[in-house]
Amino acid sequence: MDKNVALVGFMGSGKSTIGRRLSMILKREFIDTDNFIVNREGMSINEIFAVKGEPYFRSLEAELCRRFANSKNKIIATGGGMIKSADNIENIKKGGIIIYLKCSPEKIYSNLKYDSSRPLLKTDDKLGKIKELLAERLPVYEGCADYTIDVSNSNIDESIKKILNIVNSI
């Protein structure tokens, strides 16, 4: 199986940590789309949103997805909002499979409680915002997923094991 494996899911669900570990186990190139964009722009995600605006950030995400359509063998940790574009989903699927890391709002909140690197969660009611955004996106995450893994009550090792089972069964 040489298709890309793209991890999608809400902010704070573990895509980057799990993706990096998975790439080491499978000896495949790892791309974290947020990191890629941060390195390319020389700015943090907060700065990109503040200075250049969210549409600019989304255009960089779209450009990356177009590249994924013609690539293989990569483990990709996507930004949580990547799937807001149907074109992005189509391009990711051209190059590989999508695994949705499903996570409860409470677990996401506990992971991101002290985090200030997500511009969309800069609010006094972080849990409320997580619930609102998640409700909006849930149908899209579920609709685009080839496979879904519930990571709400699993540790990283357990989640990786489940993903390896999927990858090895294809």
Summarize as ranges the residues that interact with ligand S3P (CB under 6 A).
11, 15-16, 34, 45, 79-81, 118-120
Q: Which is nearer to ligand S3P, 71 or 85 (CB)?
A: 85
Q: Give me the DSSP letters along 42-92.
A: TS-HHHIIIII-HHHHHHHHHHHHHHHTT--SEEEE--TTGGGSHHHHHHH
- Helix 86-95 with 54-68: angle, nearest 10 deg: 30
Shortest approach of ligand S3P to residue 44 CB, angstroms?
10
Shortest approach of ligand S3P to residue 57 CB, angstroms?
7
Q: Which is nearer to ligand S3P, 10 or 96 (CB)?
A: 10
Shortest approach of ligand S3P to residue 141 CB, angstroms?
11
Shortest approach of ligand S3P to residue 34 CB, angstroms?
5
Q: Which is nearer to ligand S3P, 82 or 167 (CB)?
A: 82
Q: Give me the DSSP letters along 25-40.
A: HHT-EEEEHHHHHHHH
User: Tokens 């947020």, residue?
Assistant: 34
Q: Which is nearer to ligand S3P, 12 or 95 (CB)?
A: 12
- Residue 86 and residue 159 in contact, taking contact as beta carbons nearer than 8 Å: no
Shortest approach of ligand S3P to residue 120 CB, angstroms?
5
User: Order of strands, edge to edge, in the sheet holding 4-8?
Assistant: 29-32, 74-77, 4-8, 96-102, 147-150
Q: Which is nearer to ligand S3P, 116 or 168 (CB)?
A: 116
